[in-house]
């Protein structure tokens, strides 16, 4: 188990500072054995958290402990040296030694062992990650996916009690990424160490994470199981990070206490409430500003006006764009000055003859709408 309470202030001219001036990292969390995702926008404090745990950055205040051993305690002015923390760290840049072979890179991490044991451990780890054939090659002579596997092997060579992975898959193409994700899942099942995994990818978070911590401006604003965190975002910011495509500002037009709903007018580009949608009843009163979030996957697309639906929101619009992605197609539809996104399969796109300029209808349920007050 990792327990961490970290507070550190970065001056306005530091790399971690934002456009408004200085940056304050102030987080507290626990990470049990397994993968804990650190999720958030660039500059939200994820990497600085890893650096603090690793001992590469010294917090101003706090306490960091792993398996009951203190790594850092500001109250005692104590900081365990990096070399004694037994923390494995895979940087985004991998940081493999360019002048060393893959074998030598992995052996270097096991420097405390006799030479024969270092060689045997490095060979076994390279084989485990499927890159034994790269043993005699230098980093520039192997692919990005192979280099990532060598970096993971090197990290495990020191037998760490905690793993820190900082966007380890960000520079890889999709097939290689999926393969290494499979390796990471197997590694997690086998080792059951606390693993902090930084990523911008919702797909990676859902595929690998057992817990998720969402960072915003140096704070943790949501935590829990990834499906819960992304399925019920705690704020518009978390909704955006979680990939919710439809996020609109609006004004409460009316409330229906008996039905448990309220009508919200969504603002167009001119700031005028021009598109009305029914949403679950919230605390906001008539005239109050709210933010509405709806996933594109919850929006049905129809080529003709749908009848007899349980969905209370049926909007007529016109297709403004069709974006084909690897696993889905996103159809942008303008409705009353507001542009919605609906996710459809390629087959549905062809069967419905959806193209730019066509008139279509959108339908979604009241309870597909997530309502945030005052944002």
The domain ranges of the chain are 2-241, 246-373
Q: Is the dihedral of CA 238, 241, 246, 251 positive or negative?
A: positive
Nearest CA-CA partner of 314 in 323, 327, 302: 302
- CA–CA separation, 12 vs 355, rounded Å? 48
* Encoded tokens for 355: 């193209």
- CA–CA separation, 239 vs 44, rounded Å? 15
- Annotation: CATH topology of 246-373: OB fold (Dihydrolipoamide Acetyltransferase, E2P) (2.40.50)
CB atoms within 10 A of CB 322: 15
Phi, psi of 237 (to 5 degrees): -60, -45
- Model pTM above 0.85: no
- Determine the pLDDT at residue 51: 95
- CA–CA separation, 269 vs 222, rounded Å? 30
- Determine the pLDDT at residue 242: 82
- Determine the pLDDT at residue 171: 67
Helix (H) or strand (E) holding 276: strand 273-280
- Determine the pLDDT at residue 237: 82
The angle, 0 to 180 degrees and rounded to 10, between the axes of the packed helices 144-157 and 115-128 is 140
- CA–CA separation, 166 vs 201, rounded Å? 12
- CA–CA separation, 23 vs 245, rounded Å? 28
The angle, 0 to 180 degrees and rounded to 10, between the axes of the packed helices 174-191 and 144-157 is 10
Integer CA distances (angstroms), 82 to 42, 58, 149, 151, 294, in order: 25, 11, 23, 18, 45
Specify burial of residue 308 (Cβ count, 10 A radius: 0-12, 13-18, 19+): exposed
- Determine the pLDDT at residue 13: 63
- Determine the pLDDT at residue 19: 43
- CA–CA separation, 135 vs 104, rounded Å? 8
Nearest CA-CA partner of 130 in 113, 112, 114, 143: 143
Q: Is 2-241 a CATH 3.40.50.300 domain? A: yes
Q: Taking the chain (375 residues) in consecutive chunks of 10 residues, what is each chunk's mean pLDDT?
A: 95 58 88 92 91 95 95 96 90 80 92 89 90 92 87 87 86 75 82 89 86 92 90 84 90 94 90 88 92 94 89 94 85 92 91 93 94 79
The angle, 0 to 180 degrees and rounded to 10, between the axes of the packed helices 102-109 and 144-157 is 30
Q: In terms of residues, how long is the chain? A: 375
């Amino acid at each position: 188990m990792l327990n961490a309470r970290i507070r550190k202030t970065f001056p306005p001219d530091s790399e971690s500072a934002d456009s408004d001036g200085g940056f304050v990292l102030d987080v507290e969390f626990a990470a049990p054995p397994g993968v804990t995702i650190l999720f958030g926008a660039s500059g939200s404090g994820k990497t600085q958290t890893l650096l603090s745990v690793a001992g590469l950055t010294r917090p101003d205040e706090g306490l960091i402990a792993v398996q009951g051993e203190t790594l850092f305690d500001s109250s005692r002015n104590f900081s365990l040296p990096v070399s004694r923390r037994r923390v494995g760290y895979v940087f985004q840049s991998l940081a493999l030694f360019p002048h060393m072979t893959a074998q030598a890179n992995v052996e270097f991490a096991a420097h405390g062992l006799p030479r024969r044991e270092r060689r045997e451990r490095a060979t076994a780890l390279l084989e485990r990650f499927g890159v034994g054939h790269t043993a005699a090659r230098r980093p520039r002579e192997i692919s990005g996916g192979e280099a990532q596997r060598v970096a993971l092997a090197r990290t495990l060579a020191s037998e760490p009690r905690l793993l820190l992975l900082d966007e380890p898959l960000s520079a890889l193409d999709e097939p290689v990424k999926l393969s290494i994700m499979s390796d990471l899942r197997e590694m997690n099942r086998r080792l059951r160490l606390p693993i902090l995994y930084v990523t911008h990818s919702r797909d990676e978070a859902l595929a690998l994470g057992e817990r998720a911590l969402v960072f915003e401006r140096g704070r943790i604003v949501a935590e829990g199981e990834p499906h819960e965190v992304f399925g019920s975002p705690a704020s518009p910011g978390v909704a955006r990070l979680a990939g919710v495509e439809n996020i609109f500002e609006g004004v409460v037009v009316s409330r229906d206490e008996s039905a448990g709903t309220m009508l919200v007018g969504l603002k167009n580009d001119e700031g005028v409430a021009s598109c009305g949608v029914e949403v679950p009843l919230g605390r906001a009163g008539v005239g109050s500003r709210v933010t509405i979030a709806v996933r594109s996957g919850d929006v049905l697309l129809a080529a003709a006006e749908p009848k007899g639906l349980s969905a209370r929101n049926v909007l007529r619009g016109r297709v403004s764009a069709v974006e084909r992605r690897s696993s889905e197609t996103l159809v942008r539809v303008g409705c009353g000055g507001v542009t919605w996104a609906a996710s459809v399969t390629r087959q549905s796109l062809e069967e419905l003859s959806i193209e730019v300029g066509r008139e279509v209808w959108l339908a979604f349920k009241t309870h597909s709408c997530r309502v945030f007050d005052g944002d």
